[in-house]
């Protein structure tokens, strides 16, 4: 199939079927009791569901096949296993990001998904997330506004963009980096052990956190989670300010020092 024909099929046929799936998914979220129980804490976005094989097979079925809302019902029967597999893969990718971001000789204890040091930053929107929030995050900045021609998108990017605009998001992707080091500093400042401190434990202890530089009187306190976000924002400001006030050292720039 030529690229031009594929683009045309995506825009005229597959997109209309994705919109039908979107409505079926909205109905599922509105009345989950009428569908099989998925028993997971975070459901995937419909953009992920559309890529699950039973759903994708229906979307990509031949043009003569009539696709309606009920056409997707057999695929919904397989949803529990599909969602479990999706979540397992997401957790594995997040775990790899966190473990790769550990400081040298740092050895945590316990379930990595429950640890308070498992903190992520989205590389696109620069927002900070804890584990469950990272699982649920489908970044709206994956595809900035603008036509494919204006952005010189590749064929693969054009196809992804078409699906993005029909479903309102792109599928989940591991576009995160670890912010464990910052979390360790905050947790230690709360007199807790970052190797074992869990999210639940940190939330229950409710240790007040405040910034000596901004509020030396200690009157403005923050929840520890807000403390992690605050330290992250400060680190961004400091790094950007440093970058703006420095320049590469060359023979020509020597006189400016």
Q: Is 95 inside a domain boundary?
A: no
DSSP letter string, 102-133: SPTT----S-TTTBTT-EEEETTT--EEEHHH
Whether 155 and 228 map to the same domain: the answer is no
Domain residue limits at 11: 3-77+138-171
At 153-173, the pLDDT tens digits run: 787 888 888 888 889 888 999
Whether 70 and 183 map to the same domain: the answer is no
Whether 60 and 144 map to the same domain: the answer is yes
Q: Which residues pair with 129 in a beta bridge?
A: 120
The 8-class DSSP code of residue 69 comes to G
Q: How confident is the model at residue 6 (pLDDT cuts 50, 70, 90)?
A: confident
- How far apart CA 150 and CA 237 sit, in angstroms, is 32
Across the range 46-70, mean pLDDT stands at 95
- How far apart CA 196 and CA 107 sit, in angstroms, is 10
Across the range 77-86, mean pLDDT stands at 92
User: What pLDDT was estimated at residue 250?
Assistant: 39
Residue 105 pLDDT greater than 70, yes or no:
yes
Mean pLDDT of the chain: 82
Q: Is 85 inside a domain boundary?
A: no
Q: How many domains does the chain have?
A: 2
Neighbour tally for 135: CB within 10 Å: 21
Whether 46 and 142 map to the same domain: the answer is yes
- How far apart CA 4 and CA 240 sit, in angstroms, is 43
Residue 119 pLDDT greater than 90, yes or no:
yes
Whether 127 and 39 map to the same domain: the answer is no
Q: Is 56 inside a domain boundary?
A: yes
- How far apart CA 88 and CA 86 sit, in angstroms, is 5
Whether 19 and 119 map to the same domain: the answer is no
Across the range 125-149, mean pLDDT stands at 79
């Amino acid at each position: 199939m030529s690229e031009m024909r594929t683009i045309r099929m995506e825009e005229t046929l597959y997109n209309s079927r994705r919109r039908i799936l979107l409505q079926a998914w909205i109905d599922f979220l509105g009345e989950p009791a009428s569908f099989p129980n998925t028993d997971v804490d975070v459901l995937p976005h419909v953009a992920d569901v559309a890529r699950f094989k039973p759903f994708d097979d229906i979307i990509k079925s031949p043009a003569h096949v009539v696709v309606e809302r009920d056409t997707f019902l057999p695929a919904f029967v397989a949803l529990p296993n599909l969602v479990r597999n999706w979540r397992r893969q997401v957790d594995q990718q997040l775990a790899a990001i966190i473990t790769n971001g550990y400081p040298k000789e740092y050895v945590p204890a316990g379930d990595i998904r429950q640890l308070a040091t498992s903190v992520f930053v989205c590389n696109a929107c620069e927002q900070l997330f804890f584990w469950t929030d990272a699982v649920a995050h489908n970044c709206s900045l994956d595809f900035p506004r603008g036509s494919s021609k204006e952005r010189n998108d590749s064929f693969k990017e054009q196809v992804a963009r078409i699906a993005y605009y029909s479903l309102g998001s792109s599928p989940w992707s591991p576009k995160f980096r670890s912010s464990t080091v910052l979390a360790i500093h905050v947790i230690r400042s709360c007199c807790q052990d970052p190797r074992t401190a869990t999210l639940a434990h940190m939330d229950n202890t409710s240790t007040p956190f405040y910034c000596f530089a901004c509020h030396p009187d200690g009157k403005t306190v923050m929840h520890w989670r807000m403390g992690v976000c605050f330290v992250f924002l400060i680190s961004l400001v400091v790094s950007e300010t440093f970058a703006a006030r420095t320049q590469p050292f060359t023979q020509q720039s020597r006189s400016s020092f």
